[in-house]
Chains A and B, each alone.
Chain A
Amino acid sequence: MEEMAVVDVSEERRRRRRAGDPRLSAAGQEVLARITTGDLADEFQAALDADLEADPILGGHHHDAA
């Protein structure tokens, strides 16, 4: 009788989740890293805050900055 390979589905899902989007190029990875943890993080946060100021439905009556 042939043996069947046992695949840990949860571990495979975890591995794929941690690997990021497989469609993203290396150049795209670098851009996203600069936005979140690199030299553009301040500009990114300013843009997110500006969205709240510009749109009262999104940001409410009180701008919720940290």
Chain B
Amino acid sequence: MIVVDEYLAVRVVGGRWPEGLPDDEDLVLPAARHWRLLQRIHAPGDGQLSGLLATLSTTDRDTIRFPHPEVLGVADPRPLLDEAARLAARYGGTGWLTGETLAAGLTYGRALWFGTQRNVGRLLASAADDLGIAVHVVT
């Protein structure tokens, strides 16, 4: 399993495979990160992004809501939850997003893949380094 962030998930769903992202294993998006994508669909703001997403057909929106299993999986949060809570406490109350992402990294190959450096976060980068989890950014 290759753990990816929201950027890589959306790019892969859209058929624009990033150069440098391995393609020999299934991709998995942590549930908390899927939650953030779902916020764009179900709780839109008033910006251009929300306006554009509102123009998508129901079928197009479903590719984000319910990713095609041959393209992108969403990690079951239940087996990761205890480890996520432990890591969140260890690194100063990081919250579910960072805790679960780190737990997924530990569980699936000690690696995390992001589509932009801006989406890594300082706390996550520091904790990943401490835990021996490689953080890759492919753009």
Residues of A within 8 A of B (CB): 10, 13-14, 16-25, 27-29, 31-37, 40-41, 43-45, 47-48, 51-52, 56-62, 64-66
Contact = CB atoms under 8 A, between A and B. Distances in A.
Contacts of A59: 95, 97
Contacts, number: 153
B88 A60 contact: yes
Given A35-B49, A40-B48, A52-B95, A64 B121 contact: yes
Contact of A58 (B26, B32, B48): B32
Nearest to B93: A61
Interface residues of B, number: 58
A25 to B, nearest CB: 6
Interface in B93-139: 93-99, 115-125, 139
A18 B70 CA distance: 10
Interface in B48-74: 48-49, 52-53, 55-57, 59-60, 62-63, 67-68, 70-72
